[in-house]
Every structure is written in C-alpha cells, then in structure tokens.
C-alpha cells in the first residue's frame, strides 16, 4: 500500500480546470436543448463540494496504490485463491487487474522496500482513503495498568488502567467457548498483583481454582450450603449518609427482591409489602434513629409473620412460605455468616436451582453493594452470565444502579455475558453499556453480530473480525479507541486460569500424583 499526499494548491488548480470543463459541458448541452445529463450534474456537484472542503482544510488529496502478491504451492491453488480475492473485492465494488508484463515490478513493489515500481495510482481524498484503514488501532500502551493482550495489527502491548477512564466499568460479550471467562480471570489475576481487590459472582464454578490458588475466599451459595446471606442486613452509614436514607434504600431493594421471589405484584400487594417491610424492621426495634452497628436484622420468616397478621397480607405470606419453611428455606431465611474481607472473594451459585439463580445473584449483589459502601477501596466486581439478571426488570435495574454509582466508591464493574440478545432486550442493557468505558468483544455468532455492530458502531471489517476470530481474539474498545486484541498468558498464569476441561483434568491428576509421591516420602 502506497500513499502520497498531493499539494493542496496544485490540487485546487487542477480542480478549477476540471470544474470549468464540466460546467462548460453542461452549458453547451443546455444551449443545444439536449436532455440534462445526471452523471455530469452529479460530477459537477461532487467537484464543487470537494473544492470547498480542500479550501477549508477539511479534506486533503492523496495518490493511492494497493498491490497484492498471492503465494501458493501449485498453479491450480494460485488460480483458486486469485478468484476468491477477486470475488471478495468485486463484491465491494473494488476491481483488481493483473500486472501483465510487469510481474517483476509488481513483486518488487510488494517487498518491504518502500519502492513503488508500478506507479498505478488513484487519486483519493481523506474520507474514502480512511476506509483502507478499517481499525483505528491507537496505541493503548500506558505507564500504568495491566496487560490485557497484544495488538494484532502492530504487535504492541495493550497495557491499560481501566480506572484512568471516566469510569472503571467494562462489558465482555462473546459466544460460548470464545475465551471470555479466561480473559476475565487473566485480568483478575493481574489486577490482584497490582493491589486491586476483586469480587466475583460465579454461576458455573469457573473461578474456584483461581480463588484456591491465590488464597481467596470461596462461598458456595446453595439450598444445602453452609454459607448464607440475609437480605435484611443494613450497612453502617458513612458520615455523609443518613440512617433513614439507608433504611429506605434497603426496603426498596427488598421490594425488588420480593418481586423476583413472588412473581408479579399488583399495586395493592406492592403497597402491602412496602408497609410490611417497615413493620418487620420495627419488630426488631430498627428505625431511622437506630444505631445500625448494634442491631440484629430480621429474617424472611419475620416478614412472613408480619404479613400473616396484616390485612391483605395472607396470600403474600402463603406465597412466601416456600422460602421460609418449604423447599427453598435453606437459602434466604438465615443470618449472614460470610465475610468477603479478602483480596479475592468468589460467590459460587452453580448448585443453585435455575429458578433461584437470579434471586441468588440479586441477594449477593445486595450484600456486595453494602460491603462496598462500608469501605471505599480500589475494587473490581465481576458479574459473570449477567443475562440471568437482565431478564428481570428489578434485577436489571439494580445492576444498572451499581454501574451508574460505583465510580464514587472506586469500583469497576465487569459485566460478562454470552447471550447478547437477552442482555440488549432489557431496557437497562444499553444504559449499562453506555456507563462502561471499556468493552471487550470476542468471537460472535452470526445471529447476534448485527446487533453488536449497531450497538458499538463497528465497521464492516471489525464485524468480520469478530465473526472469524479465534479463541481469545477480538476487539478491545477503550473510549473512542479500537484495537484488535489477542489475549496472552504466561505458562504459570495459564495453569491457574484455564477453563479447558482436559487441561483441568491433567492438572488435577498431576496434583494427586504429587500428593501421593509426597506421602510415600513421609
């Protein structure tokens, strides 16, 4: 590819001549009474527009040449590849010609010598010329931050500090098996090295080995698990916060949780729930004037008791009963016994029933949000399989609220999903993306690519890159900067973060063999 700028004064001089020629042709046709020529009229308008843009320095003219040398082992394969390239170019209205009797000059022109021996030049202005550079692959290397991967276009390192942008939020979109969890775990591991705390909501038990390796806390939330979170917990207020506001906010969050648990609520039921929640707190002597550091929060069974004795609450109490005495009693109706005061805390919900997963994620998010508000420090919150939440209005609203407010608490939210459709169908999907300064887009399926192109304003070339990307390859978007990325890990990192079942089995086997060998030595 050869690009040579044309002096603007020379270009304007030539354009004036060309405009005069076209204008004369139009006048002659008009004087002869001939039918107007749309091609000439369009050319005249385009020339005038280009001349205006050159005079105001909005555009520049260039001489552009593009040469392609094709390599194959056999002539038949060479012809086949040539036809494929021709068809691809012609489908985009680009017509290629063979350099007849100039093969040597053409070959030398494509060598890395910077010498154009063919001189087959086209004059182009800046706008169409920019399409020959499909990626605005700006340098994403900074003095601080972590390594996200390698820029596939120039092999530079993509070193970036997510907290240097207007917010530290990030979204990761990819189809299953594209390496989204691998990329997320790689960022977590490197962030921990840089002193950032990380909290993860893990729906598929993919982060346990990482947590065990770095000495993190791992909580298995299930109906029969030993770890519990009480959604009625209240945070201790900061100096600039009022207890009344915190109590009101938690009641609003509990109303959202109960909508998930009980299904849709009528306006009357909603009012009954709101009143019952206030009375439930009051039954434990918790009011807006209470010292939240000295309270014992109520349980879900306390709310059921209040509802049973309230007018209009009997039916709600009956629907709530399966969460206090029935099948799901081992999940929500317990005091909190987890402490996520660790550099890495992972909340695992793999063993939770499918219908309870969104509820579990909502409860865990509520606990994490209270933890974050209690102490401001540099943290990353990773929500894997976020589409589970986005299917429910109240859960999606809660996640959006965190995305919008987390910057105040030095928190970066990472939202990971493979179901782009469900995520974007929520009215909170696009606002969460808007409030995320970083986007990592890995391999996509044809069914969802057009939605991504529309959402992220991707070029045609970026679209095809995402369709054809390998595992761990994709597009890294930081603000207005786009870069084709390939995530890379060292051998030691790969052993810690891999999600490959075959590799995990080998690691587990090696650990057992090592343990047996050590036992024999002892």
* Res 94 pLDDT > 70: yes
Mean pLDDT computed over every residue of the chain:
87
Residue 294 has pLDDT above 90, yes or no: no
Poorest-pLDDT segment among 133-147, 404-418, 494-508: 133-147
Token reading at 234: 């209240």
pLDDT tens-digit series, residues 250-289: 999 999 999 999 988 888 999 999 999 999 999 999 988 8
Give me the pLDDT at residue 133, please: 64
Band (pLDDT 50/70/90 cuts) for residue 35 is: confident
From residue 406, give the alpha-carbon distance in Å to each of 208, 242, 281, 411, 412.
25, 19, 27, 5, 7
Q: What is the pLDDT of residue 201?
A: 94
Choice between 403 and 500, residue whose per-residue pLDDT is larger? 403
**In a 3-state reduction of DSSP, which class is residue 198?**
strand
Under 8 Å between Cβ of 447 and 417: no
| pLDDT tens figures, 328-343 | 877 888 899 998 888 9
User: Cβ-count burial of 264 within 10 angstroms (0-12 exposed, 13-18 middle, 19+ buried)?
Assistant: exposed
Give the pLDDT confidence score for residue 19 in this predicted structure.
82
Q: Specify the DSSP class assigned to residue 227.
A: -
Higher pLDDT, 349 or 340: 349
- C-alpha distances (whole Å) from 85 to each of 94, 197, 508 are 11, 50, 47
Domain 230-335 sits in CATH at 1.10.8.730
Asked which of 17-31, 104-118, 131-145, 280-294 is least confident by mean pLDDT, the reply is: 131-145
* Domains of the chain, residue spans: 2-130, 135-226+340-489, 230-335
Q: Return the pLDDT at 442.
A: 93
172 or 119, greater pLDDT:
172
Residue 128 has pLDDT above 90, yes or no: no
3 state DSSP class of 484: strand
User: How far is residue 346 from each of residues 163, 243, 357, 360, measured CA to CA in Å?
Assistant: 22, 29, 15, 13
Give the CATH class of 135-226+340-489: alpha beta
Q: Of 140-144, 191-195, 304-308, 419-423, give the lowest mean pLDDT range.
A: 140-144
pLDDT at residue number 139: 62
Q: Is 270 helix (H, G, I), strand (E, B) or coil?
A: helix
pLDDT digits (tens, 9 = 90+) for 477-492: 887 788 899 999 999 9
Residue 214 has a pLDDT of 93
Give yes or no for residue 4 having a pLDDT over 90. Answer: no
Token pair listed for 87:
């068809």
So what's the pLDDT on residue 134?
Answer: 54
Specify the range with the lowest mean pLDDT, choosing from 38-42, 194-198, 317-321: 38-42
- Reported as a pLDDT band with limits 50, 70 and 90, residue 115 is confident
Least confident of 30-34, 69-73, 353-357: 30-34
* Per-residue confidence band for 448, with pLDDT thresholds at 50, 70 and 90: confident
* Lowest mean pLDDT segment, chosen from 90-94, 169-173, 213-217, 365-369: 90-94
Distance CA 412, CA 162 (A): 8
């Amino acid at each position: 590819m050869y690009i040579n700028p044309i002096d603007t004064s020379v270009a304007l001089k030539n354009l004036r001549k060309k405009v005069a020629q076209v204008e004369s042709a139009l006048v002659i046709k008009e004087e002869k009474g001939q039918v107007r020529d749309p091609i000439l009229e369009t050319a005249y308008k385009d020339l005038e527009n280009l001349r205006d843009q050159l005079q105001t320095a909005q555009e520049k003219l260039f001489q552009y040449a593009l040469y392609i040398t094709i390599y194959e082992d056999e002539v038949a394969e060479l012809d086949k590849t040539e036809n494929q390239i021709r068809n691809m170019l012609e489908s985009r209205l680009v017509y290629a010609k063979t350099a007849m009797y100039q093969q040597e000059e053409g070959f030398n022109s494509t060598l890395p010598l910077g010498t154009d021996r063919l001189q087959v030049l086209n004059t182009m202005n800046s706008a169409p010329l920019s399409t020959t550079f499909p990626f605005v692959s700006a340098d994403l290397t900074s003095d601080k931050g972590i390594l996200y991967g390698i820029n596939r276009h120039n092999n530079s390192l993509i070193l970036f500090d997510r907290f240097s942008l207007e917010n530290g939020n990030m979204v990761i979109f990819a189809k299953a098996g594209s390496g989204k969890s691998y990329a997320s775990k790689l960022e977590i591991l490197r962030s921990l090295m840089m002193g950032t705390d990380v909290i993860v909501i893990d729906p598929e038990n993919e982060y346990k080995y990482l947590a065990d390796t770095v000495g993190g806390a791992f909580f298995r939330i299930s109906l029969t698990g030993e770890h519990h979170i009480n959604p009625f917990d209240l945070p201790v207020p900061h100096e600039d916060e009022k207890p009344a506001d915190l109590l009101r906010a938690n009641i609003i969050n509990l109303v959202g949780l109960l909508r998930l648990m009980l299904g849709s609520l009528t306006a009357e039921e909603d009012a009954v729930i709101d009143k019952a929640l206030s009375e439930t707190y009051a039954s434990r002597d918790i009011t807006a004037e209470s010292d939240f550091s000295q309270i014992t929060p109520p349980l879900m069974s306390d709310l059921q008791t209040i509802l049973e004795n309230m007018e209009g609450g009997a039916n709600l109490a009956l629907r709530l009963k399966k969460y206090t005495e029935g099948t799901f009693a081992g999940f929500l109706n317990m005091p909190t016994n987890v402490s996520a005061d660790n550099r890495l805390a992972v909340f695992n919900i793999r063993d939770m029933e499918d219908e309870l997963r969104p509820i579990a994620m909502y409860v865990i998010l509520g606990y994490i949000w209270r933890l974050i508000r209690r102490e401001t420090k540099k943290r990353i919150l990773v929500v894997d399989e976020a589409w589970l939440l986005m299917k429910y209005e109240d859960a999606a609203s809660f996640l959006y609220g965190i995305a919008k407010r987390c910057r105040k608490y030095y928190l970066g939210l990472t939202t990971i999903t493979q179901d782009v459709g469900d995520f974007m169908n929520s009215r909170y999907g696009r606002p969460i993306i808007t409030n995320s300064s970083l986007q990592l887009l890995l391999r996509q399926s044809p069914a969802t690519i057009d939605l991504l192109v529309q959402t992220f304003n991707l070029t045609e070339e970026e679209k095809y890159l995402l369709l054809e990307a390998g595992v761990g390859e994709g597009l890294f978007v930081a603000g207005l900067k786009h870069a084709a990325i390939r995530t890379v890990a060292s051998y030691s990192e790969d052993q810690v973060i891999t999600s490959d079942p075959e590799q995990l089995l080998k690691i587990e086997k090696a650990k057992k063999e090592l343990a047996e060998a050590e036992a024999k030595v002892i």
